[in-house]
């Protein structure tokens, strides 16, 4: 096959709304530029660029999970630790994605097991700072 191993850039023209329940695949129709040997209806594989996203990650040790409730100790500008309910998402290695409850730039206790609501906190080291776009 003369086009084996070749790559073309295209755009998705149509995604069929029903997938195959056995293979967990969907049919996607892609518009490609004209090329010798390519014909309408041919089968191929493509790589989909999903893009990137920004998220807040904290160490697993910063998260307290009790039943259905999840929280972290957020440290305010007054250096007081306060228990804050959060919604978590995906887990990456030893980190947990925070979907809501903590804002970019806020400090959280790394070791939540040692946290006490209302306790004064001395900041000794900042582990990570967000990158400004």
Domain shared by 38 and 64, yes or no: no
Residue 130 included in any domain: no
Q: What pLDDT is attached to residue 129?
A: 64
Q: What pLDDT is attached to residue 12?
A: 77
Domain shared by 60 and 45, yes or no: no
Residue 127 included in any domain: no
Residue 28 included in any domain: yes
Instruction: List the domain range (segments joined by +) for residue 32.
Output: 1-49
Q: What is the mean pLDDT of residues 41-67?
A: 85
Give 56-80 pLDDT, tens digit per residue.
Answer: 999 999 999 999 999 999 998 899 9
Domain shared by 81 and 65, yes or no: yes
Q: What pLDDT is attached to residue 7?
A: 78
Q: What pLDDT is attached to residue 61?
A: 94
The total number of structural domains that make up the chain: 2
Residue 21 included in any domain: yes
77, 120 contact by CB (below 8 A):
no
CATH number at residue 68: 2.40.420.20
Domain shared by 109 and 75, yes or no: yes
Spell out the SS3 assignment of 72-85.
Answer: EEEECCCCEEEEEE
Give 97-119 pLDDT, tens digit per residue.
Answer: 999 999 988 999 999 988 889 89
Q: What is the mean pLDDT of residues 14-40?
A: 83
The proportion of the chain whose per-residue pLDDT surpasses 70, expressed as a percent, equals: 90
- Return the sign of the alpha-carbon dihedral for residues 88, 90, 92, 97: negative
Domain shared by 16 and 33, yes or no: yes
């Amino acid at each position: 096959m003369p086009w084996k191993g070749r790559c073309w850039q295209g755009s998705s023209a149509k995604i069929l709304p029903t997938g195959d329940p056995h293979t967990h695949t969907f049919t996607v129709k892609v518009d490609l530029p004209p090329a010798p040997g390519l014909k309408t209806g041919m089968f191929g594989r493509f790589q989909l660029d999903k893009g990137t996203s920004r998220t807040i990650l904290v160490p697993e040790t910063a998260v307290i999970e009790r039943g259905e409730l999840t929280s972290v100790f957020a440290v305010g500008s007054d250096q007081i630790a306060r228990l804050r309910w959060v919604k978590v998402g995906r887990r990456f290695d030893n980190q947990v994605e925070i979907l809501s409850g903590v804002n970019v730039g806020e400090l959280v206790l790394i070791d939540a097991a040692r946290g006490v609501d209302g306790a004064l906190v001395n900041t000794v080291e900042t582990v990570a700072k967000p990158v400004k776009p």
